[in-house]
């Protein structure tokens, strides 16, 4: 297993840590994470800790691809693992935030639905011997969602202090871009079909 693939596996492991931090009832075993008041906004340090881990995971996403391309270590296993790791990270966090009431349930529903349809289109194209590469709207979707989720972990600070909902905007923008990219992937698939 090369370095880029190790970074990708690390991202999956970090995602599991985030899930445990955000969902495990630590209070039931006597562990209470402190809460802080920042200008009237009560923040739970659990999300700050999970947010730092999320940022580390997101950084591994950047570096695994960069290292793989620069050192000629791109492998089919790496491509598959990277796609899985990205979806596991983002979709898990979206579902957690929906369960906690930070985002409406429709956000992960649309986002995950889009991922499944696009994956199906890509697999069908692959059966026909064609590879459907990542497209710009899909990359914009991913970047917007990753930044929006990172801000949400940190309670949209510092923007929340001036009542600017940057995290919400980025997440909703990512959902719109997911639908745009779904349409564009569908058009590419139709050309192959």
For residue range 120-178, list pLDDT tens digits in order.
998 898 888 887 777 899 989 999 999 999 999 999 999 999 999 999 999 999 999 99
62, pLDDT greater than 80: yes
- C-alpha distances in angstroms, 105 versus 58, 93, 109, 131? 23, 12, 6, 32
Q: Name the helix (H) or strand (E) containing 38.
A: strand 35-38
182, pLDDT greater than 90: yes
For residues 6-27, average pLDDT: 95
- C-alpha distances in angstroms, 168 versus 2, 95, 165? 37, 15, 5
- Residue 45's contacts (CB-CB under 8 Å, 6 or more residues apart) are 33, 34, 35, 36
Q: Residue 192: which pLDDT band, with cuts at 50, 70 and 90?
A: confident
Residues 169, 71: Cα–Cα separation, whole Å: 37
Residues 30, 22: Cα–Cα separation, whole Å: 16
On average, the pLDDT of the chain sits at 92
pTM above 0.85, yes or no: yes
The length of the chain is 193
For residue 78, what pLDDT is reported?
Answer: 79
| Domain at 3-192: CATH code | 1.20.120.1760
- What percent of the chain shows pLDDT beyond 90? 69
> What are residue 42's DSSP bridge partners?
37
- Nearest to residue 158, comparing CAs of 4, 30, 39? 39
């Amino acid at each position: 297993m090369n370095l880029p693939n190790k970074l990708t596996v690390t991202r999956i492991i970090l995602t599991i840590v985030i899930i445990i931090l955000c969902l495990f009832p630590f209070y039931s075993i006597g562990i209470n994470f402190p809460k802080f008041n920042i200008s009237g906004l009560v923040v739970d340090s659990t999300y700050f800790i999970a947010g730092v881990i999320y940022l580390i995971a997101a950084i591994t996403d950047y570096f695994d691809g960069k290292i793989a391309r620069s050192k000629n270590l791109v492998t089919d296993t790496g491509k598959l693992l990277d796609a899985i790791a990205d979806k596991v990270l983002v979709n898990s966090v979206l579902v957690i935030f929906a369960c906690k009431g930070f985002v409406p349930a429709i956000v992960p529903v649309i986002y995950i639905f889009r991922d499944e349809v696009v994956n199906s289109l890509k697999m069908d194209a692959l059966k026909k011997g064609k590879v459907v590469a990542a497209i710009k709207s899909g990359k914009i979707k991913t970047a917007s969602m990753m930044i929006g989720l990172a801000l949400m972990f940190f309670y949209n600070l510092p923007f929340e202090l001036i009542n600017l909902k940057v995290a919400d905007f980025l997440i909703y923008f990512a959902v719109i871009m997911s639908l745009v990219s779904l349409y564009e992937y569908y058009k590419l698939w139709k050309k192959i079909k």
